[in-house]
Chain A
C-alpha cells in the first residue's frame, strides 16, 4: 500500500478506534452514534480506496463556509447542552467532541485537518478512559496505541516525501533502496508495532512504579446505579420475580480462608422483615445504631458487650466487591461479626441488617467476618421453648384472616412434637408439595399467600419463605423473612462467587432462644439450573479477568505499590545478606594474602615498593588508554560491514553529529575537505581525527575499491576517540 493511502487509512482508523472507545463507555447517545458510525465507515472506505465511494464523494462539494457554520452550530449546541440539558461538562463535552469528529472527518483535506483529527481522537480516548473501569478498555487502548504509532510515522514519512526538493541528491544506490521505501512493507509494520508494544511495556512499568495520588480529576460520577428489589423498607410480595432473569452482576464474593469443597452455596444476608400485612413485608423498628469501631476501618457488628449465641460455626471471611446499587445495604453471610472497609461509619438495624449511612456513588469493597449460628443440641429435642416478650411481640404477628393458613400449619405439624420438628415439617411440606415457577405473578392479587398455598401451588422464593414464616407464626414459633442473595455461581478461575441480580433470594430465619436465628430455606433448589457448558466456563474466565483487571489496574493504589516495594526490598535484603556473607568469607582470605604481602614488602626496601606501585599504575594507565580507544569500537558493532560504503557514510555522519554537538556544523555546500579544514581551525584537538576519517571517507565513498574492515575499524576508532573527546570537553 502506498504511504499516502496508508496514512489516510490509519488516520481514519485512529478516529474510529477512539470513537468506539466512547461508544463502549456508553457515553454517546444513539442519535449521535449512528450518523457518526456511518460517516466513519464512509471515510474508511474512502481512505481504503474503494472506487465508487471516491467517485461519489468527489461529486459532493460543500463550501467551507457551511462547515464553519456547522462548527459554530455544534458549539452552540454544546453550550446549550452544558448549561441547560445535561449540566455536566463530561457528557456535554463528549457529545461536542463527537460532533467535531464528524465535521473533521468530512473535511479532511490539509495536513492541519489530520492534526486536528488526532487531537480529537486523543481527547476521545482520554474521555472514554475517564468514563470506564471495564476491561474492554485495554484492547481498545492497545489498538489506539498501535494506530497512533502507525499514523504518526506515516504522517512524518508523507510529509518528508512532500517536502523533499526537486533536485534530489541521493546518497547512493544501495542507500536509496534501504532507507526510502515508498510503500508499507513488512519491515515497516514490524517496526511500528514493535514501537507500540515497547511503549505499552514502558507504560505498564511506569504505572506500577510511579507513586500516585488517590484522587482522580475526572471520575465517573454519573454512572447508573443498579436497580435492585427487596432491600427497601417495604417489600411487596412478588417483586423479586421481576429480577429473576437478570444476569447483571451485583457483587463478587471471595472466601479467602475457606476450603474449596464448601463453596457450593452461600447465603448473603441483606435485610430482615418482621411485619406482614397480607400483601407486603415491612420493618417494625426503624431505629439504627452505629457500629462501634474496634480498629482502623474495622467495625464490630454485634452490639458491644452482647453475648454471641450459644453455638457458632467457624468464622467465614468474605471479601466483597459490591457494584453500585440503589440501596445502602451491605450484604454479608449471617451473621456479621466484624466489618472492614474504608467507611466512616456503618449502621445496623434491629434485625442485624447492615447499612451505609448514604447511598454509595461507586462500587465499594469491604470484607466481613461472619459466624453462622448452629442449633444447640438440646433445643433440637426440647418440646417447649420459652420466648421473651420482645420476641413474641415482634415475630409472631400474622395478618388478619390467616385461619386457613393456620389450619394448614396445624395439619402439617400434628406429627411433630418439638418446635424444631414442626419447623422441619413445614419446610418439608413446602419443598415437596409446591412447584417452583417464575411465571407466578401474584403482585396484583389481593391474597397472594393463600393464592400460592391453596390455588396455584406454584411460586418462587418469596412465596415459599412468606408461607413458611406465616405458618410458623400461626403455630407459635417466631420467624422472620430475610432478603438477600443466594450465591451459587462459583468462579473457579478467580476463586470467588459471582452474584447476579437473578440470585436475589428470600428465605426464613427461625428463632431459638439459645441458638439465635437459624437460617431455613423452604425453596426448592432445582430452580438454579446448573448448566455448566463450555460457554459458561469461558464466560467465567472472562469474568475473572474482569475482576483481576479491576483489582490490579483500576484499584491499584499507593498501598499496593508500597506492598510491592516492600516485597522487593525484603527479597533484596535476603540477597544482600547472602552476598555479604560470601564477601566476608572472601575478604578474610584476601586480607590473609594482603597480610602476607605487607610482610613481604616490609622485607623489601621502600624503593622496590615504589617500583611495583609504578608498574601497576602504568599498567592501569595503559589499560585505560586502550579502553578509551575501545569505547569507539562499539560504533562498529552496528555498522553494516557487508556494505562498506554504507558503513563509512554512517560513520562519517556520526562524526558530523559529534562535531556538531561541539558547535562546529558542516554547511551543506561545504565539501568534506573544506569541513575538515574548518574543524582544524575551530577545534584543533579534533582536527587529526576528522582529517583521518575524511580521508577514509573519501576513499570508501568515492573510489572504486571499498574499504577493508581494518580501515573501517580505524575510522570507527577515530570517531570513538572523537566522541570521548567531546565527553572530556564537557
Chain B
C-alpha cells in the first residue's frame, strides 16, 4: 500500500468514529507524522478522548490512557522501582507512559510536579527513574486534553510547557447533521473499539522519515521566519514565538505536505498551520484589555499577524 493510501486510510478510519471533523483529523495525522504531541483543548464531551482513542486503534500500536487527577503522582505515570524479593534487588515497573500513544486526559487537573514528569518524557523521549534511564518506544505520541471552561481546581500549564506540544487543536461542536449521525449509531460498544488497525508502527516510522526529506524552498523558510519575526515585533503580543516554535511550524508544514501528497512545501502549508502551531506559544499583551488567555483570542491574533506578512511570489 502506498504512503498516500495509508494516510488516506487512517483518516478515513478515524472519520468512521469522529463525524464531520475531517480538518481536525487531518491535523491530528499531521501531528503524528511530525513526531509531535497534540494538545486538545475543548469543552467536555465533543470527542477529544474518542479522537485519541480512535487514532491509537487505527495504528497497530500500544495505547495507554492516563486520567489526570489532583492526587496523581509522577510514579503513576512513569513507573516505579519496586523491591523484588526473589531477585533481591529493585526492579523497574514501567508506568503507562511506556506505550506508543499515550492519552493524558485532563492534563490540567494534576499538580505541576506530575505534569512536569510527563513533559520531560515528551521532550526527551525517555524517562529517568533512580538514576536509570529508560528509553521510550518509538513511535511515541502524547495526546493531552484539557478543559478550558472549568478553572476550579486546575493547574493551567505554563507557557514553557505548552511549548512542548506541536499543536493545539479545538474540536468544536458538530453540525446538526453530524450530531444526528452520532446519535443514530448503536451504543452497545465504544465506537473506537470497533476500529481495525490500518497502519503498522513500522509504516509510521517510515512516513516520519519521509517528512524529514520534504523540500522547503528558501523563500518559504524566509516567509516562515518573517511570520515568526512578526509575532515577536507585534504590539498585540507580549511574548512571541520561540525558535522551537519556528522549528515546530517548519516540521508541521513538511508533515502537512506529506499528508497532502507532496514532497515540497507550499506557502499555504505554513499559513494554514500557523494559528494552530503558534497560538499556544504566544502571550497576549495584557495592556490591550485582554485579561485572560483564551484560545480563540490567541488564534485570532496569530491569524491577524499572518495576514500582514507578504507571501513570496
Please report A residues at the B interface, Cβ cutoff 8 Å: 167, 169-173, 649, 652-653, 656, 668-674, 698, 701-704
Contact = CB atoms under 8 A, between A and B. Distances in A.
27 contacts: A167-B230, A169-B219, A169-B310, A170-B218, A170-B219, A172-B217, A652-B313, A653-B313, A668-B311, A669-B306, A669-B307, A669-B308, A671-B268, A671-B311, A672-B311, A698-B266, A701-B217, A702-B215, A702-B217, A702-B220, A702-B266, A703-B215, A703-B263, A703-B264, A704-B215, A704-B263, A704-B264
A169 B222 contact: yes
A173 B218 contact: yes
Contact of B223 (A169, A656, A698): A169
Q: How large is the interface on B (under 10, 10 to 19, 20 to 34, 35 or more residues)?
A: 20 to 34
A664 to B, nearest CB: 15
Contacts of A167: 226, 229-230
B267 interface: yes
A630 B217 CA distance: 33
A169 B226 CA distance: 8
Contacts of B226: 167, 169
A702 B217 CA distance: 5
Interface string B206-248: 0000000001011110110010011000000000000000000
Contact of A170 (B222, B229, B263, B271): B222
Contacts of B223: 169
Nearest to B257: A702
Contacts of B266: 671-673, 698, 702
B309 A171 contact: no
A205 B312 CA distance: 43
A703 B308 CA distance: 25
Nearest to A652: B313
B300 to A, nearest CB: 15
B265 interface: yes
Interface of B: 215, 217-220, 222-223, 226, 229-230, 262-268, 271, 306-313
List the 3 shortest-distance A-B pairs measured between CB atoms, nearest first. Answer: A668-B310, A703-B264, A671-B267
Instruction: Pick the most buried of B218, B223, B309, B311: most chain A CB atoms within 10 A of its CB.
Output: B311
A169 B220 CA distance: 9
A669 B313 CA distance: 10
A704 B307 CA distance: 27
Given A669-B307, A669-B308, A671-B271, A171 B313 contact: yes
A658 to B, nearest CB: 14
B54 to A, nearest CB: 30
Contacts of A670: 311
Nearest to B306: A669
Contacts of B218: 170, 172-173
Nearest to A667: B307
Contacts of B220: 702
B174 to A, nearest CB: 25
A652 B223 CA distance: 18
A169 B307 contact: no
Contacts of B310: 169, 668-669
A209 B265 CA distance: 58
Contacts of A172: 217-219
A169 B312 contact: yes
A673 B271 CA distance: 11
